[in-house]
Structure 1
């Protein structure tokens, strides 16, 4: 059996904003994007016209993995929380701290302030403005 597993972020509002944030901060590349307006016409029924430009499916190359993001236009039950998160590991503490600071400047909530820890030179934990929890970790030096 051959398959892929990708983190999938269903955003209550503005998946485009999350896409742009990850492109800006991490150099994420859009591999595929489909908007609601790209659906077959019969699959656009009961979708408000203002939602037609929202993201239906988007695949981002994010480091060495692919993630999927979409706007929720179907009213699925979504609970923002920390049960799903990303750990983003940087080679140098300065890079980790820089991204942490940028995320804070863009309105992320501090879940654990950036600091050195026994297991790393620098670690911070934030919830970005879209409700995604990010562990920002500096690779251990051997």
Structure 2
């Protein structure tokens, strides 16, 4: 079983600018990029026209590390201080479920229940009892 932890940045509509900045400042390489409109075009949650060009999901390689980021979805509040989360990636749905449940134990708060999402067969967001927010997801099978 594979398990990976990566920083995940939630931006306030300036995700493209952040990507360009990190490309120059940190010699980042774009591994993956998808706009919010393309990512959610068949979603049950329609994206307003003005938000379709926002960053839906991007991953950047910086040295030997991966940095993930996206713009906040319309209607989700963006708070300075909460824009950095830790993304836990596993290759097994059961492992994701186990981690998700363990992090919500003893006072953790579910932000988004573990569910199927456009980027993963199992994706959810939980804040542990210490106030650290984690995005948990299973890798898509290639």
Q: Give TM-score scaled by structure 1 length.
A: 0.52
Instruction: Give the Cα–Cα distance (whole angstroms) in 2 for the partners of residues 83 and 46 of structure 1.
Output: 23
**Residues 36, 44 of structure 1: 8 Å contact kept:** no
Distance 1:47 1:14 in 2: 17
The 3 A distance-change label for structure 1 pair 63 and 3 is same
Q: 2: CA distance between counterparts of 1:72 and 1:49?
A: 15
Verify the 8 A CA contact 1:23 1:29 in the aligned structure 2. yes
- Map of 2:67 onto structure 1: 67
Determine which structure has the larger strand proportion and give its number. 2
The 1:82/1:37 distance shift into structure 2, 3 A limit, reads closer
Mapped partners of 2:82, 2:37: distance in 1: 31
Aligned residues between the structures: 85
| Partner residue, 2:24 | 24
Residues 35 and 20 of structure 1, relative CA distance in 2, 3 Å threshold:
same
Please tell me whether the aligned partners of residues 15 and 55 of structure 2 are also in contact (alpha carbons under 8 angstroms): yes
Q: CA RMSD in A?
A: 2.5
Rg larger in 1 or in 2?
A: 1
Per the alignment, residue 48 of structure 1 pairs with 48
Unaligned ranges ≥5, structure 2: 86-142
- 2:35 counterpart residue number: 35
- Structure 1, gaps ≥5 residues long: 86-142
Q: 4+ runs of 1 displaced by more than 2 Å?
A: 39-42, 74-79, 81-85
The whole-number CA distance in structure 2 between the counterparts of 1:75 and 1:83 is: 15
The alpha-carbon distance between structure 1 residues 75 and 63, as it changes in their structure 2 partners (threshold 3 A), is farther
Shift of 1:83: 8.9
What is the rounded CA distance, in whole Å, between the counterparts of 1:39 and 1:84 in structure 2?
21
Contact kept, 8 Å, 1:34 with 1:56, in 2: the verdict is yes
Q: Counterparts of 1:41-120 in structure 2 under 5 Å?
A: 41-43=41-43, 45-81=45-81, 84=84
Alpha carbons 1:30, 1:59 under 8 Å: kept: yes
Contact 2:37–2:47 (Cα < 8 Å) also in 1: no
Q: Structure 2 length normalisation: TM-score?
A: 0.52
